[in-house]
Structure 1
Amino acid sequence: MSEPTLSKVVRALFDNTVAFLAGSDHPPTCMTLAGAMGCSPDAAPAKEIMTDMRRQNDQAMKERFLLARKAGESPKDLNVDDFTRFVSATLAGLSIPAANGATKAELKRTSQMALGFLGY
């Protein structure tokens, strides 16, 4: 979030997500996503913690996207809530091919395609 421009922030979000998902020191997926989706009713407290973590991440992105809009880096009519949800969902979606065995190079190409759709 500390990158100086919106373009660099969005690229860093994708690059860091790919690096995390392709890392060999943990399972190839996102715990806050995969762990929360498979929780039983007895694990509701864990699900709530993971949901809160995702909401905090989304809030941090939203705040940074708002700063970028105020700086004139994005259209004034950009719905920041929708943009945040879109970026968040796309980043989370990268965990699916990662869990299915996609390589770092494959994840990188997928993220580059998403960045292209976003105009970055």
Structure 2
Amino acid sequence: MTAETANPVGRPRSFDKDQALDAAMHVFWTYGYEGASLTALTEAMGINRPSLYATFGDKKSLFSKVLDRYTEGPISYVVNAIDQPTARAFAEDLLIGAADSATGADTPHSCLFLQSVSTPDPEADSIQQEVVRRRNIGNKLIIQRLIRAKREGDLPSDCNPADLGRFLISVMRGLAVLAADGASRAELHRTVQTALSIWPK
């Protein structure tokens, strides 16, 4: 057996890092950071603890990698929506994306960024700060897109882009809460259209 084909101790031969991260994301998304035990994580990922530590680091490091994957996957709609030609189309893409992400067929009906620190523990302060930091990055992207829209004449002169952005962010978070409470995707889509009915003319 060569070095290239040797199987690392403690790691299953079928181990796939991306699949393991997806499994860990599902656990964190379901139970939050504090509620996701190492036992639940390793069972879902199909690896043992030594393999988890060797590949992903400790629980906090794993969670950070999960947040990266969540940003690049389920909530990539935020970045994708920026390319829409109008602010109104951007807002609709953003809200529909939030509704769809929160009601996935194979994922928990909620938002990982909200679920992960919904009941913060003093020991999880650094985790909460990291999640808030990442949320703020997304918030900034949204407001910057609306500032650009106003500069281009795509929003009325009396419209405040920051206030409009915070409105969209509030609706996005509300959609995740409604999904967690059992609202269907169709119901969330109707909520999106209601929110957009007050779009500045």
TM-score, with structure 1 as normaliser: 0.92
Task: State the one-letter code of the partner of 2:93.
Answer: A
Q: Deviations over 1:55-110 (max 9, x none)?
A: 00110011110110011011223222211111101111111110011111111111
Equivalent-residue separation in structure 2 for 1:119 and 1:70 (angstroms): 15
Alignment equivalent of 2:129, drawn from 44, 48, 53:
48
Q: Deviations over 1:7-66 (max 9, x none)?
A: 110010011111101102221111112322311111111111110111001100111101
Equivalent-residue separation in structure 2 for 1:76 and 1:52 (angstroms): 31
Residues 1:112 and 2:179 are matched in the alignment: no
Percent of aligned pairs with the same residue? 28
Higher relative contact order (CA 8 A, sep 6+): 1
Larger radius of gyration: 2
Contact 2:88 2:199 in 1 (8 A): no
Q: Which residue of 1 aligns with 2:157?
A: 76
Gaps of 5+ in 2: 1-81
TM-score, with structure 2 as normaliser: 0.57
Equivalent-residue separation in structure 2 for 1:119 and 1:98 (angstroms): 27
Residues 1:39 and 2:123 are matched in the alignment: no
Aligned residues: 120
Equivalent-residue separation in structure 2 for 1:33 and 1:18 (angstroms): 14
Greater share of residues in helix: 1
